[in-house]
Structure 1
Amino acid sequence: MNTQIPDTLDLDVGRNAIAAIPRLYNFADDVLARNLVAGRGGKTAYIDQRGAWSYGQLAERVARFGNLLRNLGIQREQRILICLTDTIDSPTCFLGAVKAGVVVVPVNTLLSEVEYRVILEDSRARLLIVSEELYPRFANLIDASPDLEHVLVSGTHGFGRTLFEDALQAAATTEHTAPTVKDEICFWLYTSGSTGTPKAAVHVHATLGLTASCYGAHVLCLTEEDVVYSASKLFFAYGLGNSMIHPLSVGATTVLASERPTPNSVAELMRRHGVTVFFAVPTFYTAFLAADPVQREALKLRRCWSAGEALPVNIGRSWSERFGMDILDGLGSTEVISTFLCNRPGAIRYGTSGKPVPGFEVRLVDEAGAVVAPGEMGELQVRAPTAAIMYWNDRERSRSTFLGEWLRSGDKYIEDKDGYYSYCGRRDDMMKVGGIYVSPFEVEGALLTHPDVLEAAVAAWPDEDGLIRPKAFVILKPSGKPNEAMALALRDHCRKQLAAFKYPRWIEFRTELPKTATGKIQRFKLRAEGADRADEAATE
């Protein structure tokens, strides 16, 4: 019987990776030196809208940025905030801060002024580096932030502030690496907020090297010949791995695009640069298939990866039929950085998140914390060498999430007899209908098999008696008409695939669904609408 623990070989990967990282460790110094020693100084590390940047140029920019930080009086362990679109400036700042021992905090570029105010206050950052197109959202916050002392603007219009490139080029190229310890704080990532208010997961220096050693080396298997593009941006945990940790660790080339990805822009980018490895979220794969912007023969892709939210079966199969390759779906999180459950080439099973990544252990537990048997639903917990150490300034949520060596993912899963894990939904998204748990993801999957459905979200909704039933929120393709006949057809479609208590009692057609910047559906916002309806009914 599978006890939800990887085999000895997989566990040895994690132990060996941990043992290989010395007490004095700095990922930025490690990865840059590794490429220069290998003779890749002239090889292209990044391509952005300004052109190609070699590994040698990247190393020089990182050195300059470290000296720039010292020139500004930013000391080790102090925080800097970077709100940057995907250009060479982002890895320059991230790696430069890491090399200097300064704590770097990349933030979502799609947040509101109110959210940025909270993050500035929470992080107490002394330096802000912001892209020119994002500066207006910070303009009213800068003078009101008591800890913020310096602002640099990335781009050509500085709004009266110092331009990042001018300050960088004025700094010396002298090499300096802070004597960082592998377990000291290195960077923060704020969660995407799919279940509420964002919070900062605090990571240590060893996390980056361990992510590369476990997931990168044993699952991704990139080579220096690969050209990588990620539709998910660098400020996400997923994008940080895709566009920095993993390609730099092997000397690959990464394409960066500052604009928001669309099917047409991504297709053109992949054609122009000969992208061989593509990363995206299920929402983007869905949009790409619907737009159908490129012929299979025009691409040089050899691998496609997905994370961020579970990949619907029909999307994976449609992609495979259209492009002749599978989408390898997996699960990671801001708190773990690395993908820790994943399908592998040659061993894919659509409808699952695959098996544990070498070096990671997972288990499923019930509400009392006891491990459940295979085939039973439980909350997923992971023992990860790359786990964050806490949430900043949030002891209560830290204590409920980081349980010693185990981390609560908040996801509900089922393990099948072959050791594959199938996603059922977020812990807070699950609903009990007639005393039986219903997974919104299962109902959404049934809806997505209808030829007229583009996207779907399912949430708990009270009926006229106050009892909980599934309600579906649906975005139709142009071929579908949002009327009562279509709603009836979708309910009948689900009845044929699901148990009677699972099919959605109501269908509401929408033009958009609430999502995070990573593309995750914010079902808690839909649930909140249902809760408000129940409250109104109770007061009538």
Structure 2
Amino acid sequence: MPYNLNLPEQFNAADYFIDRNVREGRANKTAVLCEERAFTYGQLQENVNRFGNALKSLDVRMEERVALLLLDTEIYPQAFFGAIKIGAVPICLNTMNRPKDFEYYLNDSRARVLVVDASLLELIEPIRNNLLFVRQIIVANGEAPAGDLSLDELTADQSTHLEAASTCSDDACFWLYSSGSTGAPKGTVHLQHDMVYATETYGKQVLGIKEDDYCFSAAKLFFAYGLGNGLYFPFGVGATAIYLPKRPTPDQVYGTIHRHRPTLFFGVPTLYGQMLEAEGSMDNVRLCVSAGEALPGDYINRWKDRFDLDILDGIGSTEMAHIFISNLPGDIHAGSSGKVVPGYEARIVSEEMTDVAPGEIGTLLVKGDSAAAFYWNKHQKTRQTMMGHWVNTGDKYYQDEQGYFYCAGRSDDMLKVGGIWVSPNEVESCLIKHPAVLECAVIGAPDENNLIKPMAFVVLKKPDQSATHMEAELQDFVKSSLALYKYPRWVRFLDELPKTATGKIKRFELRNMVYSQAA
């Protein structure tokens, strides 16, 4: 059922997530821990205000886009909420992309101001002369080259006082770019109330997040999942966010957990698999969360056995801001995405858009008030995805008689073998249970008669094992558990799987690999 926020018509998200904490007496409470640095809500508010005033000094106005290419440090919430506070619209850019991607994002969004971490400036240099709209580059966490602005110098003399712009709850608030796995990335426009809705539903009713929690998200702030975990969930209740600027390797993650002792930990399936193979502890963590891709049930069981901790697997999307279907504490069905989060509704429909029966695979639709308003300059894509109150996720799902949702893969990932649908996720979940397998991905590939059959790409825990021997062993392993037509006809071994920044496997790259070799 929908959740009523009862927000006033005049509403500014920066006032809600930053200023409200100070008004409610948390000025001296730690808001952010980053490496060895700590920042209170009072300090964060002052720096948000300095940044907002700095943008105003550059004549940035309401509804103007401000692009953020930043690592996960204390600068992120300052820039993000500083822009929102003056009515501007921050755009969170994926730090793992390439210069040509940033050229697309910056020209597509028409952002006039770019805030970039000094360590990432090298990604902008090759495309500077191709940027049609950027007029000011602000460099954070380091020195600015000639012609650019230093964030420290720009904000040093700015006032620590700033009135929030008179935005309303339905004004544009921030953008996230979709991954672009099915075409050009789309600027997904979220509104001022969306972060509050996700906090009140998933944050409070699933996580049970409270003021004394410490939130550590290995998933980065630049995409939807990480933005909730590390920014607006903790700030929504006056909790503390823990940031890791470096790449989230198992050693870095375990080290951060040891140093700062989070109570809530957020990861992605790939990382959980890697952490299970590494040494470390999860002391003080009360709950773990996974999203980005379906989490193998085997990981959930092994994690529980090792740490006596639950992992809540769920599904969210850029369009919905965060997770809308999830397992719940005390109600975990390994291998499923769980049940609908309070405040959301979901349907599974056929190609004719009629509801399918339990157990039947269809397309997942979701409804909830954290949904994005539209895609920037993508009218047809908006109409295809945002169908009135419902958002078409593009994911294939089925629901069992008890109401649990199970992922069958993306619409374009499903295989039809001998006229029967095969879910890559099902075959992958079987393969991952083999003790030699670290990671795997399954796609469809043509046989000698040009008929589609499953092909598996596998990363072994010990790469020196005999490929010929392991191929036959893994095929037999799947045959012993699943219907015969589902076993992978070919098994290829890789050192690593290609992935997006969110940890999702780039299946299209695997398909390209197969078809380019066939050609």
2:19 maps to 33
- Measured in 2, the distance between the counterparts of 1:96 and 1:56 equals 14
* Matched position secondary structure for 2:365: strand
State the superposition RMSD in angstroms: 1.3
Counterpart of 2:141 in structure 1 is 155
In the TM superposition, what are the counterparts of 1:292-371 in structure 2 within 5 Å?
293-295=279-281, 299-371=283-355
- Mapped pair 1:223 → 2:213: no
User: What is the rounded CA distance, in whole Å, between the counterparts of 1:33 and 1:59 in structure 2?
Assistant: 6
* 1:506 aligned onto 2:490: yes
How high is the TM-score relative to the length of structure 1?
Answer: 0.94
User: Structure 2 CA distance, aligned partners of 1:343 and 1:226?
Assistant: 20
Matched, 1:16 2:4: yes
1:115 aligns with 2:98: no
| SS of structure 2 residue aligned to 1:142 | helix
How much identity, in percent, do the aligned residues show?
44
Q: Deviation digits for residues 216-274 of structure 1, max 9, x if unmatched?
A: 12111111111110000110100000001110011111111111011111111111111
Aligned to 2:376: 392
Query: How far 1:494 sits from its partner (Å)?
Result: 0.4
Q: Distance in 2 between matches of 1:443 and 1:480?
A: 24
2:467 to 476, 483, 486: 483
Residues 136, 149 of structure 2: 8 Å contact kept: no
Conserved 8 A contact 2:52-2:85: yes
Question: Does the CA-based 8 Å contact 1:66-1:176 persist in structure 2?
Answer: no
Partner residue of 1:415 out of 382, 391, 399: 399
CA distance in 1, matches of 2:181, 2:101: 14
Counterpart in the other structure of 2:123: 137
Task: Provide Cα deviations, 1:502-534, integer angstroms capped at 9, x if missing partner.
Answer: 110000011111110111001122223344456
8 A Cα contact 1:460 1:530, kept in partner:
no
Q: Tell me the distance in 2 between the aligned counterparts of 1:144 and 1:170.
A: 32
Counterpart selection for 2:253 from 263, 266, 279: 266
In the alignment, is residue 251 of structure 1 matched against residue 235 of structure 2? no
Q: Is the 8 A contact 2:113 2:137 kept in 1?
A: yes
Task: Tell me if the contact between 1:476 and 1:482 (Cα under 8 Å) persists in the aligned partners.
Answer: no
CA distance in 2, matches of 1:76, 1:468: 52
Note closer, same or farther for the CA distance 1:124–1:295 as it changes in structure 2 (3 Å cut).
Answer: closer
Native 8 Å contact 1:81 1:127 kept in 2? yes
Residue 73 (structure 2) pairs with residue 84 (structure 1): no
SS in 1 for 2:486: coil
Q: Matches of 1:90 and 1:259 in 2, distance apart?
A: 14
Unaligned runs of 5+ in 2: none
> Which runs of structure 2 are paired with 1:164-243 in the superposition (5 Å)?
164-243=151-230
Q: CA deviation at 1:487?
A: 0.4
* Secondary structure, aligned partner of 2:397: strand
Q: What TM-score, normalized by structure 2, do the two folds share?
A: 0.98
Q: Distance in 1 between matches of 2:391 and 2:464?
A: 43
Match of 1:260, SS state, is: coil
Give the drift of 1:167: 1.0
1:15 & 1:415 partners in 2: Cα distance?
23
Counterpart amino acid of residue 69 in structure 2: C
Shift of 1:65: 1.1
Deviations 1:410-465 (A, max 9, x none): 11111011100011101110010011111111111111010000000000100000
Q: Which has the higher contact order (CA 8 A, sep 6+)?
A: 1
Question: C-alpha separation between the residues in 1 aligned to 2:79 and 2:281?
Answer: 37
| Superposition deviation, residue 480 in structure 1 | 6.0
Question: Structure 1: which amino acid aligns with 2:274?
Answer: A
1:214 positional shift: 1.4
Whole-angstrom CA distance in 1 between matches of 2:266 and 2:3 = 28
The alignment partner of 2:441 has SS state of strand
Deviations 1:380-408 (A, max 9, x none): 00012111111111112111111111110
Q: What is residue 425 of structure 1 aligned with on the other side?
A: 409
Q: Structure 1, unaligned stretches of length 5 or more?
A: 1-10
2:79 equivalent to 1:93: yes
Name the CA distance, whole Å, in 2 between partners of 1:142 and 1:295: 44
Distance 1:208 1:327 in 2: 23
- 2-structure distance, mates of 1:153, 1:175: 22
TM-fit CA distance, 1:148: 0.9
1:110 is aligned with what amino acid? Answer: M
Q: Deviations over 1:84-118 (max 9, x none)?
A: 00001111011111111001101000110111111
Aligned length: 518
Give the counterpart of 1:496 among 480, 484, 491.
480
1:102 partnered with 2:94: no
Q: Secondary structure at the match of 1:134?
A: helix
CA drift at 1:156:
2.2
Counterpart for residue 427 of structure 2 = 443
